[in-house]
Amino acid sequence: MPDESLRYPLPGGETPDPVQLLQDSLKEFTDDLVPYLMAGLGQMVVTIPLTIIMVFVIYFVMFGTLLGGALVGAIAGAVVGEAAGDEAGGLVFGLIYLLSFVLMFGLIAGLSAMLGALMAPLNASLVRRVARHQRGERVLDFSAAFSDAKENILPTMIVTALVGLVVTVGIMFCYIPGIIAAFLMMYAGTLVFLHRLSPVNAMVTSAKHFTGHFKFHGIYSLLHFAAAMAAAWIPLMGPMFLLALHVRTHRALFGDAETAVIH
């Protein structure tokens, strides 16, 4: 039998022990594994085909941008070379080809943000259903990713796209800025999904909470990173556990009320 002592509304405004939070999340997840797996399977049915299509689109954009840059650069370089000499032509070719790399990275960042935005309503619905499940209100099932997908849809897509764009751009600068941005804005999405904050307000609130409670978030982020590394090797179960952990952490920090507890 699942341990119902872990299923109740949380008032928020707390900075719990990160290790205890991890242990409680693992116990609640393993005690009620089937509902979590069914909910994850429902989401996977949609997200995997969408991700595969987007990967092909991204590769097409990458090669198309670089090939187009090389062709345009060669033509422009030849024209300039005829008029101003080979050195000027080579410089023009190099500049245009360099700009094609910049354009390629920009398009990849945009497409990644768009993919996140397309999946956002499903993710938000799943987050809301996991929160209700953890409060003991409604058991998770296959429909969890679809049942509330129409709720607050535009802010949901905007915050996901903005966070995804910031993180993707940060990753392009030797990864570290992207990782920092991901942790700073870890709760931006759930603040919109669960408490209906505006996208920008949610991003600012998440960052301020991280910097204002650095000791908790520092330890928790290390534990979360380690859990994510392990979860990456466990299909379906791993990502669903990370989601269960993330939702429980958000509830402990910001509460289950309609208005988030900001402290």
Q: Identify which of 126, 127, 120 has the alpha carbon closest to the alpha carbon of residue 145.
A: 126
pLDDT exceeds cutoff 90 at 192: yes
pLDDT band for 1, please (50, 70, 90 cuts): very low
pLDDT exceeds cutoff 60 at 3: no
* 139: phi then psi, degrees, rounded to nearest 5: -75, 140
pTM to 2 decimal places = 0.85
Mean pLDDT of the chain: 89
The predicted model gives 3-24 an average pLDDT of 86
The predicted model gives 111-116 an average pLDDT of 81
Among 109-123, 130-144, 235-249, the least confident range: 109-123
Among 19-23, 72-76, 201-205, 211-215, the least confident range: 72-76
Length of the chain: 263
Among 85-89, 132-136, 189-193, the least confident range: 85-89
pLDDT exceeds cutoff 70 at 110: yes
Q: Identify which of 34, 23, 47 has the alpha carbon closest to the alpha carbon of residue 248.
A: 23
| Separation between Cα atoms, residue 20 and residue 98, nearest integer Å | 50
Per-residue pLDDT, 142: 93
**For the chain, percent of residues with pLDDT exceeding 90:** 49
**For the chain, percent of residues with pLDDT exceeding 70:** 98
pLDDT exceeds cutoff 60 at 78: yes
pLDDT exceeds cutoff 80 at 147: yes
Contacts of 187 (CB under 8 A, 6+ apart): 202, 205, 206, 209, 250, 253, 254
pLDDT exceeds cutoff 70 at 5: no
CB of 69 closer than 8 Å to CB of 97 = yes
pLDDT exceeds cutoff 80 at 213: yes
Per-residue pLDDT, 4: 61
Other CB atoms within a 10 A radius of the CB of residue 96 amount to 19
The predicted model gives 20-43 an average pLDDT of 92
| Separation between Cα atoms, residue 194 and residue 21, nearest integer Å | 20
pLDDT band for 47, please (50, 70, 90 cuts): confident
